[in-house]
Structure 1
Amino acid sequence: MFGHLVRRHIYGRCVYAVQTRTINVDSSTKLGFPCAYNDEETKKILNTINEQEMEELYKYNISKYRLKKIEGWRKKFGSFLSLEQVLELDGFGVTVLRKFYDSIVHGPKEDAAVAPKAIKRDVKFTTPLLSAQMVPKISSCVSLHVGLDYVTWAHFKLTKEQPTALAGWNSYNISDRKLHINELIRNVTQMNRLIPAADVYVVENPPVAQASAMGSAVQTNINVQRSQLIGMLMLMLANRASPFTDGGSSLSTDGTVGSNVFFLKQYLSARLFGIFVGNERVSSEEVIRSLMERQLAPNEETLESVQSRLIIPSGLKIIYEENDSTEREFLGQSLLLGLTFLRLCIFKCEDSLKIFRR
C-alpha cells in the first residue's frame, strides 16, 4: 500500500481516505512517460529527432520501421514538441522510447555506427546485379519502356569527365493488345532492327503474374502480353554482340558470367523523380520539360560529377514536342528509366541513393 487508511466521521457515516505517497510528477506526462532527462538532455533528444536526417538516426537504438513512423510525422506535422509526443506513433512504447532516447543521450554503440553502411550494401536495384567490374567499361546504354500501346527507348552516351548525352529516342506502336504469338515475334523482330546498339539494355521488371480477380481478365491478358513482349525483346538484345557476354570473357569475381540486359525494380524511376503518388505512377511530362529546360537532376539535387548532367540536343526536344501526349508520356518514361539506372547503378549519386535507404 502507498499509504494507510484514515477513518473519518462525516454526517454519521464512516469514510476512509487514502493518504498516498508523494510522487514527483514534474517530469511525468499524461501519456505515462516518466522523463528522467534534464533540460540539456531533453533539448539534445528533441534536436536529434527533429533535425537529423533519417539515415543518421539509424545509428541509434531504433528499428527501421519506427524510423519510418518518425519520418511520416515530421513530414505531416513538423517537429516534435515534447519527448512524450513520440508515444503517439504506432509501435512506440515506454521501454522502446527509453532505449532510443538513452542511445541519443549516451551515444550509439560502436558497432551501430556502421549500420548505415550495411543498409547501403543491401539495396539492390537490378536483376541481375551490375558487377563493379562492368561499371567503368560502360559507355552507352539503352533504356526501354513497354507500355500498353507503345514500346519506347532512350539511347545514352557516356563519356568520362563529360555530361551524359541523350543520343536518341524513338517509339514503336503496337495497336493490338491481343496479338497472336506469331505477331508478337514479328513486331519484336522489327523493333530489334530499330533499337540502337549499346553496351547495356535496361527495362523495368514486368508486373508479377497473379491470379486474376473476377472482372480483371482484360488486365491479366495485357500483363501477359507485356511480359511476353519484354521477354522476347530482351532475349534478342541479350544475343547481340557485347564485351560483357561474348565467350564468357567477362567473368566477375564471384564467377558469374556478365550480362548486357538488366531488369530494374518496378517504380524506381517514379519514386526517384517524384511521380509515384499512392500506388500509381503519374505523368512524367512536367519532369521531362523541367529536365529539358534546366538540364538538372531530379528535384534540382546537387550533381556530384559532370557526368551526372544530361544534355538533350535541340533536335530531340523537337521530336518530343511533335508527338501526341500519349507518345510523349512513353518517351518520357523511357528517359527517366535510363536516368534512374545511370544515377543509381553507374554514377552512384548519393542524393539519389539516399532516397532508397530510408
Structure 2
Amino acid sequence: MERRRGSPDFLLLFMTLALVGFGILMVFSSSYILAYYNPDYNNDSLYFVKKQAIWAILGFIAMLFTMNIPYTVYKQKFPTIAIGSFILLLLLFTPLGMKINGARSWLGIGKSFSIQPAEFAKLGLIIYLAGLIAKKGDRFRMWKQGLAPALIATTAFCGMVMLQPDLGTTSIILFTAVVIMFSGGAHLKHLGMLCGVASVALIIFAVAAPYRLARIKTFINPWNDGMNGLEQGYHLIQSFYAIANGGLSGAGFGKSIQKYLYLPYPQTDFIFSVIAEEIGFFGCALFILFFVLFLWRIILITLRCEDTFGLLVGIGVVSMIGIQAIINIGGVTGSMPITGVPLPFVSYGGSSLLVFMTSMGIVLSISRETFKKRAQRQEQQLRKLSH
C-alpha cells in the first residue's frame, strides 16, 4: 500500500494567501471610486472587489485541488494539456471571442463571465516544455528530436497571443520558455537564435501599429505629449504623480488622489501606482521584499525536487511570476515601456488570479512529494541504524 503523501509547504501556502488577501484590499481601494461613478459597473463601489473575491475563492479551490493531485499526473498528460490550452487560443477567433479595448483576448458570453485564454496558455506551455524535456532527457539537446518541437510549440503559442494582439503576455511566454529550455540543457547558440528572431519579430510587431510605437516614444519622454488627456504620456505621468504623492510613508490606505478618475486602469495595470501612493516608498520596499522572498521560497522547493519534470515546472512557474511582476512594476514606474500586464496575485483579473493560484497548487504538490521522499529516506536510515 502506498505511503500517505507528505505535507505541503505551509509557509508558501501562507505567503500565497497573504498576497491574494493584500490584492483584494488593494483592488477595493483602487477601484471603488471608478466603479461608483461609472454606470457600466452599476454605480456599485464594490463591483470589482466582489468579483475579485469570487475569483479568489475559485482560485483557492483550484489550488487545493491541484495541491492534492500528484504532480506526476501532469507529466503523463502534458501533450493533452498543451493541446487544450492552444485550442482555447484558437477559440478567440470564433464567435465566442470578444474584442475589448482593441484586443481579442477574452472568451465567453457577454461581460458577466469571460476568461483570458492567454493566461492558461502560460501554464499550458510550461507543463508541455517540462514534460517534453523530461521525456527526451539528453536527447533534448539534439535539434530534431528535442529542441525543434519545443521551439515550434513556443512559436505557435507566442504567435497566437501576438495575433490578439497582446505584446506583454507574448513577452512573458517567450522569456519563460527560454528560461525553461535553458534550464533543460538547450544549447546557448540555439536559444540565441530563438531570442534573436523573437526580438526582431517583437520590434516589427511593436512599431507596426501607431499606438505601440507611441508607447515606446512615451517611455523615452512621456512629457512630449503627456499633458494631452488622450495621449499615451498622460497614463505614465499620472502614475508618476501617484508615486510622488506617496512619498516615503504614503498617503494612507484608501487615500490615493490619483485613483479619482485620473489614473487609468487603477485596479489592473496601474495598481502598483495606487499601492505606492497609499503605502509609500517604505511600504513598497516591504512589499517587493515579501514578493522576492515568496519567489525565493518557490525556488527552494523547486531545487529540492529530484524529478526533472517537477524541477522544470517549478522553474517555469517562478519565471512566469517574476517576469510578469518585473514588466508590470517596470512599466508603471517608467523603467520600461508599458505593456498592460497585471501584477501577479494583486491586480484585478479573474483568469490571471485563477491561473496563478492553480500554479501554486502544483508547486505545493511538488513540495508534498519532496517531503514524502525525504521522510521515506529518513525512515530507511533509521531502520538501518536500528539493525
> TM-score, normalization: structure 1?
0.22
Q: Look at both structures and tell me which one has the larger radius of gyration over its CA atoms.
A: 1
Greater RCO (Cα-Cα under 8 Å, separation 6 or more): 2
